[in-house]
Amino acid sequence: MITNVLVTGGTHGNELTGVNVVKHWEQIKPTLKLPQNTPSISCTITNSDAVKYRTRFIDQDLNRQFSLEKLALNENKSDELLCKEERLAQSLNKEIGPKSSPSYDLVIDFHNTTANLGPCLIILCKGEFEVSMARYVKSVMPSSVMLLENEKPYEDFPYLCTLGKHGVMIELGNQAHGVNDPSIYLNGLQLLQAILDFCRLYNENNLPALMPVECYHLTGEVKYPDGAMHEYMIHPDLFGHDFEELKSGDPCFISVDGETVQWEGNATFPHFIGEVAYQHLGMAFSTSDRILL
């Protein structure tokens, strides 16, 4: 039973779709007549200072603060020893967690990416609930993309959404950080509605027959040939082509001198191609396999 859902935006303060989705829900909530068996829905902006300054974070990435280990490590430290987002993580863990014993059945955290991901639902485990959700959402919104990242146990992820018993991320792209693209916003609302409809049908034990759906399964990350030196770029044949197959021998990078670097690995489905927030790490894209989930 999913009795309560928390919708969060502004975990990265310059990713504005979630900020607007939260504003929208706060406005419509008082007049909303939700069907019976819909979970109660709360929403919150998680890093309001970062939103105010239109920046990803103030000191550190908030969406990397929620592993049980890090929460425990910082729990008894005095505030002056913690950075802004470490303090924020401690208070969010108290307000909307705690992660060790979640008070929300589902946390849906909104993100944007400069990469061409489309309306993407990221699930973090292959639990029955998550798999059914992915199948349902894909069936009612065929343009949505399912991405499975389960390289570690759910509890070990440092993501804010893992404060919920179940947690998912909505990753919407491509949208430049700090920009509000209205069609991306509408995609976000549609994806959220599909998840909420799923929760109601799940509660009623009334889901339609769900068939396995196409899903991308994260396998790794690829760095630029020169790390973060910025003498290489994503090849134009690859840039913007998230979730399209990249085969051995396909052009992958070009140097500032015009030299082409080919992909030498196994065939893969790249995504988060050129995401601007990862450029300082030298990360060019993530890789995935296409599976049926």
**Active site (catalytic) residues:** 171
**Tokens 């959700």 sit at which residue?**
133
- CB of 122: closest distance to Zn ion in angstroms? 11
**Which CB atom, from 117 or from 246, has the smaller least distance to Zn ion?**
117
Judged by CB, which is closer to Zn ion: 89, or 213? 89
SS3 67: coil
Six-digit token string for 237 = 């044949």
Determine which residue in the list 5, 12, 13, 109 makes contact with Zn ion, applying CB under 5 A: 12
DSSP of 3-24: -EEEEEE-SSTT-HHHHHHHHH
Q: Which is nearer to Zn ion, 12 or 166 (CB)?
A: 12
Q: Which stretch binds Zn ion (CB under 5 A): 9-17, 27-35, 221-229, 242-250?
A: 9-17
Binding residues among 98-127 for Zn ion as defined by CB under 5 A = 111
Q: At closest approach, how far in Å is the CB of 15 from Zn ion?
A: 5
Is 177 a residue that touches Zn ion (CB under 5 A)?
A: no
Burial (0-12, 13-18, 19+ Cβ within 10 Å), 54: middle
Question: Measured from the CB atom, is 110 or 253 closer to Zn ion?
Answer: 110
**Cβ-proximal residue to Zn ion, closest one:** 111
Interacting stretch for Zn ion, rule CB under 5 A, among 7-15, 73-81, 137-145, 260-268? 7-15
Work out how close the CB of 74 gets to Zn ion at its nearest, in angstroms, rounded to a whole number. 21
The DSSP code sequence of 77-108 is S-GGGS-HHHHHHHHHHHHH--TTS-S-SEEE
What span, in angstroms and rounded, lies between the C-alpha atoms of 15 and 55?
A: 8
Residue pointed to by tokens 């990265």: 12
Count of residues that bind Zn ion according to CB under 5 A: 3
Query: Can you read off the two tokens belonging to residue 161?
Result: 């959404």
Cα separation, 27 vs 62, in Å, equals: 26
Q: How far is the CB of 292 from Zn ion (least distance, A)?
A: 28
Query: What residue ranges bind Zn ion (CB under 5 A)?
Result: 12, 15, 111
